[in-house]
Amino acid sequence: AKTALVEAKDANADTSVPDLYKSAEEALNTAKTEMDNGDFVKSKEASEKAKQLADEAAKKAKETPAPKP
């Protein structure tokens, strides 16, 4: 999931689809928190969600030009 998030950022997802990118970041943070809490099932679920959202963000970012500053 972390690698997918880096790839999404590299595709400028943080600027072209910021809401989707932020959702992926939040899901990854949830996965880390659940791992720290020892809830490996919830951690895995959140990690899978983060990867899915990051992959979707990267795809949409590549299809959507970044907004002009």
pLDDT tens digit sequence for 36-52: 999 999 999 999 999 99
Radius of gyration of the chain (CA): 12
pLDDT-derived band at 65, boundaries 50, 70, 90:
low
Nearest to 50 by CA among 64, 35, 37: 35
Question: Residue range 10-20: average pLDDT?
Answer: 95
Predicted model pTM: 0.88
Give me the mean pLDDT over the 24-38 stretch.
Answer: 97
Contacts of 49 (CB under 8 A, 6+ apart): 27
- Of the listed ranges 3-12, 44-53, 56-65, the least confidently predicted one is 56-65
